[in-house]
Structure 1
Amino acid sequence: MAGEENFKEELRSQDAPRNLNRREAAGYPYSRSLKMLLRRLKVVTTKQDDKFTNLLVAVGEFGTFQRRLVALTFIPSILSAFFMFADHFVFTAQKPYCNTSWILAVGPHLSEAEQLNLTIPRASNGSLLTCLMYLPVPWNLDSIIHFGLNDTDICRNGWIYPDAKKRSLINEFDLVCGMEWKKDTPEIVFMAGLLIGSVVFGLITDKMGRYPAILLSLLGLIIFGFGTAFVNSFHLYLFFRFAVSQSVVGYAISSISLATEWLMDKHRAHAIILGHCFFAVGTVLLTGIAYRLPHWRLLFLVGGVPAFPLISYIWILPESPRWLMMKGKVKEAKQVLCYAASVNKKTIPANLLDELQLPRKKVTKASVLDFCKNRQLCKVTLVMGCVWFTISYTYFALILRMRVLGVSLYFRHAFPGIMEVPALLCCRFLLQQIGRKWSLAVALFQAVIWCLVLLFLPEEEDGLRLRQPRCPAAGLKSVTVLVITLGEVSLAATATVFFLHTAELVPTVLRATGLGLASLASAAGAIFSLTTVRQTLSHLPVFFCCVSAIVGFSLSFLLPETQDQCPSDSLDHSSQMGNEVEDMMTEDASSDDV
């Protein structure tokens, strides 16, 4: 019977071209419903042919094992947001004055206000100057009070901060009076760490495995995140921030790779969306904790303590069976699958495990050069890189725009973080209904709309301050802040959808490397925005945001759809991904049986 069925299938496949030519000659119109049916039949056939999909169904699509795996990503996601945006809260503005404690030798009972009044020169408006002091003189206190001091110089003995309510990096390392430029350095250093970490951890995750890469990144969060609280110099602080940024991007790459290869279609999307929701929760928690803590070192101590329980991941985190199989470790892959089935209280049929054998080549080898050699993969990677660059550039440009408007530091972090959670949950609905490609297009289109609206709003510096009365100006500023926030939320949702799409577009053998290249493009866009937005005219950054958002929206249509498709494992499969569905629709539509 099996031989007869195979013979019939052969005959149908041989007759398909003839039937197709006959229908084309007759001008037979293809209906949309027939194409959708054929697409679904193709999806079912593909899933049946994928041994890993059959095994995951036998293991349990979303049982206790998978739920535990998703829950393990929550705490690291919160900590990643905590350490990623901590720089914004450790540079609390402080007003410095020169340290003039020399006068206490002749007037030990002077109050701080009297000391400053006698030893600090004043500006024309009567305010004390922050970076100048009167030079010491060998007089007694009465002479100084009577005659006053005349000779001024820059601060010689450091600075004091009498009005400071919090201990920040500014008064810790005296980043004042010509050193203000150092306040922008940590952001650039952090983005440079993301840039390098994207490449390093992408290669590590594909070469060593998802499990060791996650452990290495978590170890970095513990050492360099918690250890930042004990640095004794500004340069050491920069080094720790550089190192922790690599851990943040390393965890993002390795955890998304692991979730993509363990979970099936809709559960995979839900897991990545939940992880990004907890990332937004981490931003809100960081804002609340930073508002209450009086010392910047306490911020890193509080944020680093929850990282220590993550050491337990050594014993409870699984490796990806797909990656093990691609590396020729069939025995280890079977052991991991059997363990997952036992946790889910399922039994894997013996014939399914027996089918899990090495491919024709004993071990599937791949390198980063395949992104250039494989034509289809090269095209997809270039498009993904361009879209990631535009998303990141626009997102950080809007953040800088919010900062220029003088919005409260705590508001501009907490409010978008709160709004991101429902936006990401809406993405979950979109992904189920219209797929990855169109969900990405919808999210990017919203970003385009908000950027265009922002382009036509008057500038705060030029328009709002000159208008009377002041109430309409304040109202217009609120509208501008709302539009920027909605743009940030749309771009955050876009990044979440695109992370999922990127992970599904790249084959297993190069999945982490592909995510690393995508993160590299994202970090490059962030660095470009940080270095250029501050140096351009007021209208140009918003105009560039519109252009980049439109470019990203246009390029998103060049990417293939991956919904309801099994993740590709080899380069041979990925090279056909772009035309797979269309070709199969044409072949099946030509069959008499259909």
Structure 2
Amino acid sequence: MKEDQNSKTAFRSQNSRDTHRHEISLPSDNWSLEMLLRRLKAIDAKRDDKFASVLGAIGEFGPFQWRLVALTFIPSILSTFFMFSHHFLLTAQKPYCNTSWILEVGPNLTEDEQLNLTLPRAPNGSFLTCLMYIPVPWDLDSIIHFGLNYTETCKFGWIYPFAHTRSLINEFDLVCGNELYKETGQTVFMSGILTGSLLFGFLSDKLGRYPIILLSLLGFLIFGFGTAFVNSFYQYLFFRFFVAQSSVGYAICSVSLVMEWLVGEHRAQAVILQHCFFTIGVIFLTGFAYKVVHWRLLFLLGSMPIFPLICSIWLLRESPRWLMVRGKIEEAKKVLCYAAEVNKKTIPLNLLNELQIPGMKVTKASILDFYTNHHLFKVVLAMGCVWFTVSYISFTLSLKMNDFGLDIYFVQVVPSIAAVPARLCCIILLEYFGRKWTLNLTLFLVTFMCLFLLFLPEELKSTIILMLVLAEFSMAGTVSIFFIYTAELLPTVLRSTGLGMVSIAWTAGAISSLVIFKQTKTQLPIFFCCLCCVLALCFSSLVPETGNRPLRDSIGYCSRDSIEPKDRSKDVSTVMMAEKSMSDVATDSEVTKNTMFNAMTFKSKADSLFNMALELPNRQLPVQLPKDQPP
């Protein structure tokens, strides 16, 4: 017995020396070995994720997943017609008072003669847009000879002789004191985003992803299609409010559904491609808005494809992860078997049985968990700050570009064209650098561009426009990374609710940008962009990396998931110390096994790193033995 204790003591000493040797030899400055460690840990994490194993058996990205992703791309394109068409419908139009009363006494007057007789002129010789001469009961010769002298505001409405398209401006006369209605439209849209993000996010976690996606598409169909038939601007605002709710609801639920059906880097690739198609939708919308002569046709073009899309929505299936956390195991197995059938795969019975957890109950969670749970509170706070920054900078850059008097079509198309390659580049960056460092990189680039704009003189108009486009390039990548990173940080049981909560920050950032930019014409809004980027970089460091890690389904996070290790050497040292504690209570066979492992000679740094990575998934917490049982 004494010899066994002595040999255990020797083994512990040897294990301690090996741990110290591993910690010293860890090549933190060697990028290739760092990537090797990360990949090995990702492979092991994937092996421990039972749901990922089932998805691997049905095919990680087979025909079913292709169909799923494709069906989410089409509404992303169509949603741009409802979200951004407002910009093209409120273009400036030069109005004149309707003075058709003079045609009763001079029916043969040309349009120029009519305006010259009935409208007063400004000092520069142009016609005033919001004043007219008071009608008089004279004949045409008297009016021409004596002229009209007394003016009043437009009494019979307005005409738009130089307008080539029918827009909201000349449809509902949003001129001459009625311009405030244009700001009201933006406020109503923000209100729809705010309420829709909370409502649809909550309903998605309660009712499921599939029914809320269907509800969002119905919202596009009813309120988007109905917008084309409104008779007043108030009706337009009413329909726009619910269209905004449907848009944000679809964005949240589609991201949640795609993320929960895919594994590994397929999640990031699918979300980024979905955002690319969203950007392509903006380009299509701009082209149609340039060619279409009536604003109602834009909503009809965006709504008509919704009909066949809803008819094929049955091809989508509910998220099996959400079904499992709600305790619907049998339904989860059915949708998984359906996906396997579409992919022409067979799920081993033992993998399906592993999904059946004995005595499993419905995972309970509420919105209050974002306050009581430390990890969730930190995620929502950090990512909300990032989303506020993204929204504020995006609106500020757009307003800055409009401030140069650029054409509305240029303002929409050029940043959209630049956004597609920016988002495609993020696929490579996410694979090699992870979520956190890629997000920090894009935020740093935006900060650099804003600092450059801060010190550029106003005379360098072309340079400023170029920097604005480059800043939009970086912002596009930030948006895609944000959705991926946030969805992976949140648990399945509260994923949509969390995305809805951080979307509130988007509304706050947009409103702040509009208020600050209109209150001052100095460089203060750009300075706030730099300040927001610095704050976002600080807050993003609070959350852990999620790249190549399995999605979490419940709110029970272990300390290692919620606290990011400061460096790899400390992480490995902690693992080794846990194994050392475990050796105190191990059986004789386990001691022998650990002795043989620790006696191995690490011939190179790469071999040492590989073996340490193999030990990571096997760490266990120390076992507490009964007091009356000897070690």
Do they superpose with TM above 0.5? Answer: yes
Q: Please list, as runs of the form range in 1=range in 2, the aligned pairs for 1:203-218 lying within 5 A after superposition.
A: 203-218=202-217
- Whether 2:34 is the aligned partner of 1:31: answer no
1:6 corresponds in structure 2 to none
Q: Please list, as runs of the form range in 1=range in 2, the aligned pairs for 1:291-306 lying within 5 A after superposition.
A: 291-306=290-305
1:486 corresponds in structure 2 to 470
Higher mean C-alpha displacement, 263-272 vs 532-541: 532-541
- Whether 2:547 is the aligned partner of 1:552: answer no
C-alpha displacement at 1:198, in angstroms?
Answer: 0.7
User: What is the CA deviation profile of residues 130-162 of structure 1, one whole-angstrom value per residue up to 9, with x for unaligned ones?
Assistant: 111111112111111111111111111111111
C-alpha displacement at 1:18, in angstroms?
Answer: 7.3
Letter in 2 for 1:93: A
Separation in 1 of the partners of 2:22 and 2:348? 48
Alpha-carbon contact 1:443-1:490 (below 8 Å) kept:
yes
Q: Please list, as runs of the form range in 1=range in 2, the aligned pairs for 1:23-102 lying within 5 A after superposition.
A: 29-32=24-27, 39-102=38-101
Letter in 2 for 1:225: G
1:585 corresponds in structure 2 to 572
- Whether 2:517 is the aligned partner of 1:509: answer no
SS of the equivalent of 1:227 reads helix
- Whether 2:523 is the aligned partner of 1:539: answer yes
Separation in 2 of the partners of 1:365 and 1:49? 24
Alpha-carbon contact 2:378-2:542 (below 8 Å) kept:
no
User: What is the CA deviation profile of residues 397-430 of structure 1, one whole-angstrom value per residue up to 9, with x for unaligned ones?
Assistant: 1111111111111011011111111111110110
C-alpha displacement at 1:185, in angstroms?
Answer: 2.2
Letter in 2 for 1:241: R
SS of the equivalent of 2:408 reads coil
SS of the equivalent of 2:394 reads helix
TM-score (norm 2): 0.86
Alpha-carbon contact 1:123-1:129 (below 8 Å) kept:
yes
Separation in 1 of the partners of 2:314 and 2:244? 25
1:349 corresponds in structure 2 to 348
**For the structure 1 residues 373 and 313, does the alpha-carbon distance in structure 2 shift closer, same or farther, using more than 3 Å as the test?**
farther
1:393 corresponds in structure 2 to 392
**For the structure 1 residues 20 and 307, does the alpha-carbon distance in structure 2 shift closer, same or farther, using more than 3 Å as the test?**
farther
User: What is the CA deviation profile of residues 297-327 of structure 1, one whole-angstrom value per residue up to 9, with x for unaligned ones?
Assistant: 1111112112222212431111000000000
SS of the equivalent of 1:153 reads strand
Matched positions, count: 567
Separation in 2 of the partners of 1:169 and 1:14? 84
SS of the equivalent of 2:132 reads strand
Separation in 1 of the partners of 2:13 and 2:271? 46
TM-score (norm 1): 0.91
Alpha-carbon contact 1:323-1:508 (below 8 Å) kept:
yes
Letter in 1 for 2:573: T
**For the structure 1 residues 27 and 290, does the alpha-carbon distance in structure 2 shift closer, same or farther, using more than 3 Å as the test?**
closer
Alpha-carbon contact 1:387-1:552 (below 8 Å) kept:
yes
2:583 corresponds in structure 1 to none
Alpha-carbon contact 1:215-1:313 (below 8 Å) kept:
no
Letter in 2 for 1:402: M
Higher mean C-alpha displacement, 565-574 vs 230-239: 565-574
1:571 corresponds in structure 2 to 555
Separation in 2 of the partners of 1:80 and 1:409? 19
Letter in 1 for 2:572: M
C-alpha displacement at 1:361, in angstroms?
Answer: 4.4
- Rg larger in structure: 2
Higher mean C-alpha displacement, 67-76 vs 323-332: 67-76
C-alpha displacement at 1:573, in angstroms?
Answer: 3.0
C-alpha displacement at 1:257, in angstroms?
Answer: 0.4
SS of the equivalent of 1:164 reads coil
**For the structure 1 residues 63 and 91, does the alpha-carbon distance in structure 2 shift closer, same or farther, using more than 3 Å as the test?**
same
Letter in 2 for 1:497: I
Equivalent of residue 520 in structure 1, options 498, 504, 512: 504
C-alpha displacement at 1:181, in angstroms?
Answer: 2.2
Alpha-carbon contact 2:97-2:131 (below 8 Å) kept:
yes
**For the structure 1 residues 19 and 444, does the alpha-carbon distance in structure 2 shift closer, same or farther, using more than 3 Å as the test?**
farther
Separation in 2 of the partners of 1:28 and 1:575? 21
1:187 corresponds in structure 2 to 186
2:607 corresponds in structure 1 to none
Q: Which runs of 5+ in 1 are unaligned?
A: 1-12, 465-475
Letter in 2 for 1:29: I
Separation in 1 of the partners of 2:513 and 2:43? 44
Separation in 2 of the partners of 1:555 and 1:80? 31
Letter in 1 for 2:418: M
Alpha-carbon contact 1:120-1:132 (below 8 Å) kept:
yes
**For the structure 1 residues 362 and 193, does the alpha-carbon distance in structure 2 shift closer, same or farther, using more than 3 Å as the test?**
same
Separation in 1 of the partners of 2:327 and 2:14? 43
**For the structure 1 residues 61 and 16, does the alpha-carbon distance in structure 2 shift closer, same or farther, using more than 3 Å as the test?**
farther
Higher mean C-alpha displacement, 569-578 vs 441-450: 569-578
User: What is the CA deviation profile of residues 378-401 of structure 1, one whole-angstrom value per residue up to 9, with x for unaligned ones?
Assistant: 112111111111111111111111
Letter in 1 for 2:186: E
Separation in 1 of the partners of 2:562 and 2:420? 32
Alpha-carbon contact 1:120-1:134 (below 8 Å) kept:
yes
**For the structure 1 residues 107 and 489, does the alpha-carbon distance in structure 2 shift closer, same or farther, using more than 3 Å as the test?**
same
Letter in 2 for 1:183: K
- Whether 2:317 is the aligned partner of 1:318: answer yes
Higher mean C-alpha displacement, 574-583 vs 402-411: 574-583
1:473 corresponds in structure 2 to none
Separation in 2 of the partners of 1:16 and 1:163? 91
Letter in 2 for 1:519: S
C-alpha displacement at 1:516, in angstroms?
Answer: 0.7
C-alpha displacement at 1:123, in angstroms?
Answer: 1.4
C-alpha displacement at 1:14, in angstroms?
Answer: 13
C-alpha displacement at 1:547, in angstroms?
Answer: 1.1
SS of the equivalent of 1:410 reads helix
Separation in 2 of the partners of 1:175 and 1:287? 22
Q: Which runs of 5+ in 2 are unaligned?
A: 1-7, 580-593, 598-611, 613-631
Alpha-carbon contact 1:377-1:574 (below 8 Å) kept:
no
Separation in 2 of the partners of 1:105 and 1:384? 65
- Whether 2:105 is the aligned partner of 1:121: answer no
User: What is the CA deviation profile of residues 269-288 of structure 1, one whole-angstrom value per residue up to 9, with x for unaligned ones?
Assistant: 11001000001100111111
C-alpha displacement at 1:574, in angstroms?
Answer: 6.5
2:158 corresponds in structure 1 to 159
Separation in 1 of the partners of 2:176 and 2:269? 50
Separation in 2 of the partners of 1:182 and 1:104? 32
User: What is the CA deviation profile of residues 508-559 of structure 1, one whole-angstrom value per residue up to 9, with x for unaligned ones?
Assistant: 0001111111211112211221222111232111111111122212322222
**For the structure 1 residues 47 and 104, does the alpha-carbon distance in structure 2 shift closer, same or farther, using more than 3 Å as the test?**
same
C-alpha displacement at 1:15, in angstroms?
Answer: 11
User: What is the CA deviation profile of residues 66-100 of structure 1, one whole-angstrom value per residue up to 9, with x for unaligned ones?
Assistant: 11111111111111222211110001221111111
Separation in 2 of the partners of 1:68 and 1:222? 22
Higher mean C-alpha displacement, 142-151 vs 31-40: 31-40
C-alpha displacement at 1:192, in angstroms?
Answer: 1.8
C-alpha displacement at 1:22, in angstroms?
Answer: 5.3
C-alpha displacement at 1:576, in angstroms?
Answer: 4.5
SS of the equivalent of 1:133 reads strand
Separation in 2 of the partners of 1:57 and 1:196? 38
Separation in 2 of the partners of 1:143 and 1:35? 92
**For the structure 1 residues 210 and 16, does the alpha-carbon distance in structure 2 shift closer, same or farther, using more than 3 Å as the test?**
farther
**For the structure 1 residues 413 and 17, does the alpha-carbon distance in structure 2 shift closer, same or farther, using more than 3 Å as the test?**
farther
Letter in 1 for 2:445: Q
Separation in 1 of the partners of 2:154 and 2:358? 72
User: What is the CA deviation profile of residues 461-519 of structure 1, one whole-angstrom value per residue up to 9, with x for unaligned ones?
Assistant: xxx3xxxxxxxxxxx21111111111112111101011000000000000111111121
2:372 corresponds in structure 1 to 373
